[in-house]
C-alpha cells in the first residue's frame, strides 16, 4: 500500500485495479510510437506493457487523513458498472472496500468525498448496490462536486458515453442530501483547496495540498499517462475541450515545478506519484518510490 506523508497528513492510494487496458492509438489520438520509443526505458513496464502494447491504467482513490478529516478523492469504476465496450471494467466486482479496510478506514468514517469530475470511472463507489438499489457508500460524507460539472452532467444525464453514472452514482447521493456543489476555489480544512482545472470536462477540478512546508497536487484526468509529461500537448480521446485541456495540463505541471509539489494523478502506474521538472518545452518526472 502506497502512502505519502505531508507532516501529520497522510495520503494513501486505495487500489481498485491496475492492469494494461487501453490501446494507445485509440486512447491518445496523437500517440506516435516513433516518438515514444526513446522513452521506453522508463515507460515500460509500469506505464506501458510491451507484451500487449497497451497503456497500463491504475484505478485508485487517494485517501487523505488529516488531524480533523478523513477524505477520499474520486471513487474509481465501482462494482456492477455497465461498460460493455471495456470488458476489464464491465460488470466487475473489485476488492476496493477491502483495500479501504486494509488502510484502517470504514466507509462510515469518510467525512468528504471530493470529485475531480463526474466520468463513470471516477464516481463508481459513490454508491453501492443494496437489494437492487444504488445507495450512498459513504453515508456520513459530504460529496463535494463542482457546480459547473454537475450542471453539465445533468444536462446530458441520458448520454450513453458516461455509462449511466449520473443517475446511478450521483443522483442517489443528491437525493440523500449528501451533496455539496461548489464554485471557484473552495477550501476543505486548512490544507486542501479545490481549484478549477477545466478541459477534460467543463467542470473538472484539481486539489492542492499544502502542509508542513510540503505541497501536493491531485489532478484527476488532467493527465492519464506518464508519457504526457514528455508530450504535454497530447490529449486523451475523452478530453472535451482540446485546447483548454492542453493549457490546464501545462499550468498544473508548471505549478508542480514552481512549488516542488508531488503530482498525484488518478491513473498513473507504479509508483503512482512523481515530482516534476521543467525540460525545455516539456517536463520530466522524478518518480517517488
- Which residue segments constitute the domains of the chain, with CATH numbers given? 3-287 (3.60.15.10)
| pLDDT reported for residue 84 | 85
Give the C-alpha separation, 32 to 120, whole Å: 28
Q: Is-contact 261 217, C-beta < 8 A?
A: yes
3-state helix, strand, coil in the chain (%, to 5): 25, 30, 40
Give the C-alpha separation, 30 to 233, whole Å: 9
Give the C-alpha separation, 172 to 186, whole Å: 23
Q: Which pTM value belongs to this model?
A: 0.95
Please give the torsion angle defined by the CA atoms of residues 46, 52, 55 and 60, in that order, rounded to the nearest 10 degrees: -70
Place of cell 463507489: 125
CB count within 10 Å of CB 278 equals: 13
pLDDT, tens digit only, all 289 positions of the chain: 899 999 999 999 999 999 999 999 999 999 999 999 999 999 999 999 999 999 999 999 999 999 999 999 999 999 988 888 888 898 889 999 999 999 999 999 999 999 999 999 999 999 999 999 999 999 999 999 999 999 999 877 655 557 789 999 999 999 999 999 999 999 999 999 999 999 999 999 999 999 999 999 999 999 999 999 999 999 999 999 999 999 999 999 999 999 999 999 999 999 999 999 999 899 999 986 5
Coil vs helix vs strand at 70: strand
63: which residues sit within 8 A by CB, 6+ positions away?
11, 12, 13, 14, 70, 71, 72, 100, 103, 105
Amino acid at each position: 500500500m502506497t502512502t505519502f506523508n505531508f507532516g501529520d497528513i497522510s495520503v494513501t492510494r486505495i487500489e481498485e485495479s491496475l492492469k494494461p487496458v487501453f490501446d494507445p492509438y485509440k486512447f491518445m489520438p496523437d500517440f506516435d510510437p516513433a516518438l515514444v520509443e526513446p522513452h521506453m526505458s522508463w515507460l515500460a513496464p509500469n506505464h506501458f506493457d510491451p507484451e500487449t502494447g497497451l497503456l497500463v491504467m491504475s484505478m485508485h482513490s487517494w485517501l487523505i487523513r488529516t488531524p480533523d478529516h478523513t477524505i477520499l478523492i474520486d471513487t474509481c469504476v465501482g462494482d456492477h458498472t455497465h461498460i460493455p465496450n471495456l470488458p476489464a471494467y464491465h460488470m466487475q466486482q473489485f476488492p476496493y472496500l477491502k483495500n479501504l479496510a486494509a488502510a484502517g478506514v470504514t466507509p462510515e468514517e469518510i467525512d468528504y468525498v471530493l470529485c475531480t469530475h463526474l466520468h463513470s470511472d471516477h464516481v463508481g463507489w459513490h454508491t453501492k448496490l443494496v437489494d437492487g438499489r444504488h445507495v450512498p457508500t459513504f453515508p456520513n460524507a459530504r460529496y463535494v462536486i463542482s457546480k459547473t460539472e454537475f450542471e453539465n452532467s445533468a444536462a446530458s444525464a441520458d448520454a450513453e458515453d458516461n455509462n449511466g453514472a449520473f443517475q446511478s452514482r450521483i443522483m442517489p447521493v443528491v437525493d440523500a442530501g449528501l451533496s455539496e456543489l461548489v464554485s471557484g476555489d473552495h477550501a476543505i480544512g486548512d490544507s486542501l483547496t479545490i481549484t478549477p482545472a477545466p478541459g477534460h470536462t467543463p467542470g473538472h477540478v484539481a486539489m492542492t495540498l499544502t502542509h508542513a512546508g510540503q505541497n501536493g497536487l491531485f489532478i484527476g484526468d488532467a493527465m492519464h499517462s506518464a508519457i504526457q509529461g514528455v508530450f504535454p500537448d497530447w490529449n486523451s480521446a475523452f478530453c472535451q475541450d482540446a485546447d483548454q485541456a492542453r493549457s490546464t495540463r501545462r499550468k498544473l505541471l508548471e505549478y508542480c515545478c514552481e512549488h516542488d509539489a508531488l503530482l498525484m494523478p488518478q491513473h498513473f502506474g507504479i509508483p503512482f506519484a512523481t515530482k516534476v521538472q521543467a525540460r525545455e518545452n516539456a517536463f520530466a518526472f522524478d518518480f517517488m518510490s
